[in-house]
Amino acid sequence: MDSSALELPLGRAELTNKTTDDDLRFDWINLFCREKYGAPELWRWFKWERKEIDKPHEFLLVEGGVCTAKIERGKRKGQDDWKKRDKAMDRTFVVARKDLDAFQAEWQARTGSCFKCYGTGQEWGGWSAANGNRYRPCTKCNATGNVPSQAEKATSS
């Protein structure tokens, strides 16, 4: 695995791996692969690609593994050292876009929380080197963190 494999494709905005402590986002791909495909608890994706974009059968081709090793020196010290992972734990999954959407809807129904902001009321608004992750009031749930009720949806549309 060369380092270019760690570059993330476009479309990662809402579905990225947590990199820092101020990153409140869920990783839906990891959650999906663990719950639906029985990926091990410590399994995380390291690369995914959107395929058949905007078609009904759009899917993500997800490659991941278990990495506990950290880089010991240099600029990237403390970050995951994927080169030293146990490759026997590598798994590749095909995740259909519609299955992922259904999973988020199912999660909302199960938890009563807004999937976009994971019930925090704050949605992710970008990242910069100077300020880290930025958040703004969630537009989906009006910053309540709750699933909008059918009645509210009807009046707002």
Give the count of beta carbons closer than 10 Å to the beta carbon of residue 103: 18
- Contact pick of 29, 60, 67, 117 for Zn ion (by CB under 5 A): 117
What does the per-residue mask of binding to Zn ion show for 120-139, with x meaning CB under 5 A?
------------------x-
> Restricting to residues 138-157, which ones interact with Zn ion according to CB under 5 A?
138, 140-141
CA distance 147 to 116: 10
Q: Which is nearer to Zn ion, 95 or 141 (CB)?
A: 141
Report the greatest alpha carbon distance in the chain.
Answer: 56
Query: SS3 of 139, please?
Result: coil
Place of tokens 């537009």: 139
Query: Considering the complex, what minimum distance in angstroms separates the CB of residue 142 from Zn ion?
Result: 8
Is 114 a binder of Zn ion (CB under 5 A)? yes
Q: Which is nearer to Zn ion, 18 or 140 (CB)?
A: 140
Based on the number of CB atoms within 10 Å of its own CB, is 58 exposed (0-12), middle (13-18) or buried (19 or more)?
A: middle
Is 67 a binder of Zn ion (CB under 5 A)? no
Q: Which is nearer to Zn ion, 85 or 116 (CB)?
A: 116
Q: Which is nearer to Zn ion, 91 or 140 (CB)?
A: 140
- Strands (E) located in the chain: 43-51, 59-66, 91-96, 122-128, 132-137
Q: Which is nearer to Zn ion, 50 or 107 (CB)?
A: 107
Where do contacts with Zn ion occur on this chain (CB under 5 A)?
Answer: 114, 116-117, 138, 140-141
